[in-house]
Amino acid sequence: MLIMASSTHFLYLTFFISSFTQVFPLNEVMKSSLMYPLTCSDYTHTCDSYLYHISKGHKLDEIASFYSVNTSRITPVNHQSNLDYLVSVRCACEKDNNGNGYYFYDSVYKRKPGEGVRYISDEYYSGQVWYVSGEDEEQLTLHLVCGCLDDESRKVVTYTIQAQDTLLGISQLLSAKENEVENLNKALTQDPNYMDIGWVLFVPQENNKIRTSKKSASNIESEKPVIISLEEIEQATNSFDEDRKIGEGGYGSVYFGIIRQREAAIKKMRSNKSKEFFAELKVLCRIHHNNVVRTLY
């Protein structure tokens, strides 16, 4: 049994990217032409936002520890045959010595022997660390770039450009309009045909916006149940990899996967031949809904 999850649109953010002069009294600064923090609004000082985490083989609980969040705040994203993640964080305005405010998310990291700040930023935080502070050299406070909107119905995604990315491809991945991403990141998109790996872009998302792709609708949405093969399910869940498990109940586990370009929650039932098990199985088999599809055995 599969439950198909709807996608979301990403819309234009009204803030602008300004040039940034570092005046924070900090230990180490990651100042770079690869990213520019967003200027704070006069009205919004904190908000929920997303940080796009490029997967490097770390487990879900490890990623959660990097960002000081629970695993429930992490959403898997399929990109270029890889499983990346969107991390939901609380973004806040921080002011420098001149009173200028910029949006950051702060997380604490315990440095391992031999790890430099640049390595930590690239390996664990997708190169989104703007600066690092903390008197204890082992215990670091990392300040990651993020963004807020005055309109609470929208959120900002901080995205790091990867190999083979294009502005159009990023827009399609995050359901954004290409010209809106370009306008929001003018400091880095003066020539839309040239982008470099490691540049950090800001992409605004509209909450609960359903994607209206004709291709997706024809593949999944219909009045009749869609039949999905077991082979497709195993491929989507990487053979039910534990890293893709998002929930567990009395009679089975739920896994995240991408099937036919749509997000899906896939429940794998465990048979114990009890009356309760067969009762739940019968209920699931009788469900008829556009967002519920059956499987072939």
Tens of pLDDT along 213-237?
A: 343 334 444 445 566 778 788 878 8
Both 280 and 173 in a single domain? Answer: no
Domain CATH for 248: 3.30.200.20
Domain boundary among 172, 206, 240: 206
C-alpha to C-alpha distance for 22 and 89, rounded to whole angstroms:
24
Provide the pLDDT for residue 167.
86
CA distance 155 to 103: 13
21, 192 in Cβ contact below 8 A?
A: no
Judging by beta carbons within 10 Å of its beta carbon (0-12, 13-18, 19+), is residue 289 exposed, middle or buried? Answer: exposed
Into how many domains does the chain fold?
2
- Among all chains, which residue has been given the structure tokens 């950051």? 104
State the pLDDT at residue 247: 81
Name the domain boundary from 156, 185, 206. 206
0.75 surpassed by pTM:
no
Residue pLDDT, tens place only, 127-152: 999 989 875 678 899 999 999 988 77
Q: Verify that 198 and 230 share a domain, yes or no.
A: no
Per the domain annotation, does 1 fall within a domain?
A: no
d(C-alpha 74, C-alpha 150), whole Å: 24
Whether residues 166 and 191 fall in one domain: yes
Domain identity same for 164 and 75: yes
Low-confidence ranges of the chain (pLDDT < 50): 1-29, 31-32, 210-223, 296-297
pLDDT of 82 reads: 86
- CATH code where residue 184 lies: 3.10.350.10
**pLDDT for the residue numbered 16:** 34
Q: Which domain holds residue 46?
A: 8-206
Whether 113 and 197 share a structural domain: yes
- Helices 117-125, 60-67: axis angle to 10 degrees equals 130
Query: Would residue 137 count as lying in a domain?
Result: yes
**Residue type (1 letter), 144:** L
pLDDT at 52: 97
Average pLDDT value over all residues in the chain: 76
Distances (CA, A) of 57 to 61, 71, 189: 12, 16, 30
User: What CA–CA distances, in Å, run from 107 to 64, 110, 125, 144?
Assistant: 11, 10, 10, 8
